[in-house]
Amino acid sequence: MTARVYPVEPAFESPAEQSFVQALRDQLPDDAVLFCNLRFTDRSGDREPAGVVAWPGVGVAVIEVKGGSVSLREGQWWQTGGRSKAIHPVEQALKCKYALRDFLYRHPRWSRGNPRSNHFVALPTTVLPADFAAPDAPRWLVIDSTETSHAAGRISSALRRTEEEHDAPTQHDVELLVDCLAGTAIPQADLVADLAEREAACDLLTHAQAKVLDYLSGNPRVEIRGGAGSGKTWLAIEKARRLTADGQRVALMCYSRGLAEYLRRRALTLPARQRPVYAGTFHNLGTSWGVAPGSDDDSSYWEQQLPETMASLAEGLPAGERFDAIVIDEAQDFAESWWPAVLAALRRPDDGCLYVFSDEGQRVFARQGRPTVPLVPIELPENLRNTKQIAGTFSSLAPAQMRIRGGSGVPVRFLPCAAEDAVDVADDAADALLEEGWPPESLALLTTYSRHPVQVERQAAGQDAYWATYWDDDDLFYGHVLGFKGLERPAVVLAVNGFRSAERAREMLYVGLSRARDLLVVCGDLAVIRRVGGEAVARRLTVGTS
């Protein structure tokens, strides 16, 4: 268990400061937060403590760190490290403590009063004499090199004995401190502009992927594989557009309803002469041919009856109703039994154009299947659409190591709670984002096991009506990771409330963590997440990402 650190890549004044801060971080529990590089500025000047620890139930510690050999002679502190100079570590720490209090007092979002706090001086390369004593530095205030290995315990003990009327911060207080000190609360106008800028940057990177299609223009049968954030869906749409512009009759399809609706709407924005004749789910293509609809809970219908009927009907279709080319996104969702129908829908089943886009790491359904014809494999090695902090969180779950090219963003937020409480905690987190100014249409709340009650209510009106809410701009979207594959939101609150299948839990966590482009908030039990995703994911959530 280690504390979260803000910023995720602190700058240190000296190796001694770095070693002390890293040692302290590793000793703190995962509900504590360690701030570095904070600078408080007022008319009297700048104050910059080496570290500020916010510890739920304990207090706030403001720490000044001095490396080299430090001594106190005739009331004056001296530091020797190449040259000797007078220093004022206790005064600096004290002024930083009051600078923090003044900042919170003036901050419009802070309404908790003064939290219990104290200032400390750390001397990670100095051993204090046994009889050390100073009027402004009682022994409990100073941590020397012999105490670095248990510095958190020293700080905890001193804070718990602090004789002042202020209460220790709660977990909610600490999260509010993160908002105030990490600077995540910005005006909505600035936030919307920043989101638009990030989207434009992502789109530029994604459009650059078109060179992949240029290189493959002479290959009629290709499988393009890439992890989350690699721009596969954009490439699938672009390939369908190019083929249609060349005069071919093209079908653009996938398995999930949400992604299919996205493909359909995106295709409608293309010029008429570049618009594929079909964009939707594999199964809806069958019903358009006359296959009787089935119920959602009849797996034999979806896995066997419908695809077999589709393959039979396709053979009898006039050539003008078949396709010159088929483009499939999220192809890892296709069962083995579906591919004969896909090939039969081509005018030339043996060598007609077939482009499939897949990510084996997102194989979240129990069905297994691979294309039944040879395809030229192409790997997309870069993540383009997630911030470095988000991509770093799920990178260990991807099927292959990817270069992270997305810009730097805010730290991933982790809210520890029991799995059964994850949805309630996620609701509170989503409300907090709306209060911060995040537009509702930029936010999604996803679950990993049971659906959110709002999702259940909206799906009662039918799947088409439910998925129409994805494009509403008056409320956030409520969904499940199974249905959100291939989609994204600028901000995602992920409620890790369990998993339907232990065999697919890792893949479902991968999908959930990768759906956010700019901000990810994860709510759940760290032990469960560690068991499913491994130590790397758990550490990223609690320490931060680089």
- Please report the pLDDT score of residue 465 as a whole number: 92
* pLDDT at position 310 over 70: yes
Closest among 380, 393, 383 to 529, alpha carbons compared: 393
- Higher per-residue pLDDT: 48 or 82: 48
- Higher per-residue pLDDT: 127 or 188: 127
Identify the band that residue 165 occupies on the pLDDT scale cut at 50, 70 and 90: low
What proportion of the chain, given as a percentage, has pLDDT over 70? Answer: 95
- Rounded Cα–Cα distance for residues 114 and 184 (Å): 21
* pLDDT at position 546 over 50: no
Is the Cα torsion angle 305, 308, 311, 312 positive or negative in sign? negative
| 535 membership: H or E segment, kind and range | helix 535-543
Spatial CB neighbours of 228, under 8 Å, sequence gap ≥ 6? 359, 361, 362, 383, 386, 394, 398, 510, 511, 514
Mean pLDDT of 537-542: 88
* pLDDT at position 296 over 90: no
Closest among 97, 148, 99, 102 to 122, alpha carbons compared: 148
- Rounded Cα–Cα distance for residues 161 and 233 (Å): 57
Three-state DSSP string of 338-365 = HHHHHHHCECCCCCCEEEEEECHHHCCC
* pLDDT at position 410 over 70: yes
Residue with tokens 């439910």: 466
- Please report the pLDDT score of residue 545 as a whole number: 41
pLDDT, one tens digit per residue, over 207-223 is 878 889 999 988 999 99
- Higher per-residue pLDDT: 543 or 504: 504
- Rounded Cα–Cα distance for residues 8 and 2 (Å): 13
3-class state of residue 222 by DSSP: strand
Q: In the chain, count H helices and then E strands.
A: 19, 24
- Please report the pLDDT score of residue 292 as a whole number: 86
Mean pLDDT of 25-44: 86
Q: Count how many residues are written for the chain.
A: 546
- Please report the pLDDT score of residue 191 as a whole number: 65
- Rounded Cα–Cα distance for residues 268 and 295 (Å): 28
- Rounded Cα–Cα distance for residues 294 and 228 (Å): 31
- Higher per-residue pLDDT: 316 or 481: 481
Mean pLDDT of 51-71: 93
What proportion of the chain, given as a percentage, has pLDDT over 90? Answer: 56
Contact 179, 108 (CB under 8 A): no
* pLDDT at position 198 over 60: yes
Cβ atoms within 10 A of the Cβ of 460, count?
A: 9
Q: Are strands 33-35 and 40-42 parallel, antiparallel or unpaired?
A: unpaired
* pLDDT at position 188 over 80: no
pLDDT, one tens digit per residue, over 105-158 is 888 778 778 889 999 999 999 999 888 888 888 999 999 999 999 999 999 999
Q: Strands (DSSP E) along 341-476, which ranges?
A: 353-358, 376-380, 382-383, 403-404, 413-416, 443-447
pLDDT, one tens digit per residue, over 414-427 is 999 999 999 999 99
Closest among 47, 50, 371 to 225, alpha carbons compared: 371
Mean pLDDT of 71-86: 84
Residue with tokens 């034999």: 300
Closest among 362, 391, 400 to 483, alpha carbons compared: 362
pLDDT, one tens digit per residue, over 312-322 is 998 888 888 99
* pLDDT at position 185 over 50: no
- Please report the pLDDT score of residue 106 as a whole number: 84
Residue with tokens 């078109």: 210
Contact 516, 492 (CB under 8 A): yes
Mean pLDDT of 509-516: 95
- Please report the pLDDT score of residue 350 as a whole number: 92
pLDDT, one tens digit per residue, over 368-393 is 778 889 999 999 988 888 988 899 99
- Please report the pLDDT score of residue 210 as a whole number: 85
- Please report the pLDDT score of residue 38 as a whole number: 86
- Rounded Cα–Cα distance for residues 396 and 398 (Å): 6
* pLDDT at position 258 over 90: yes
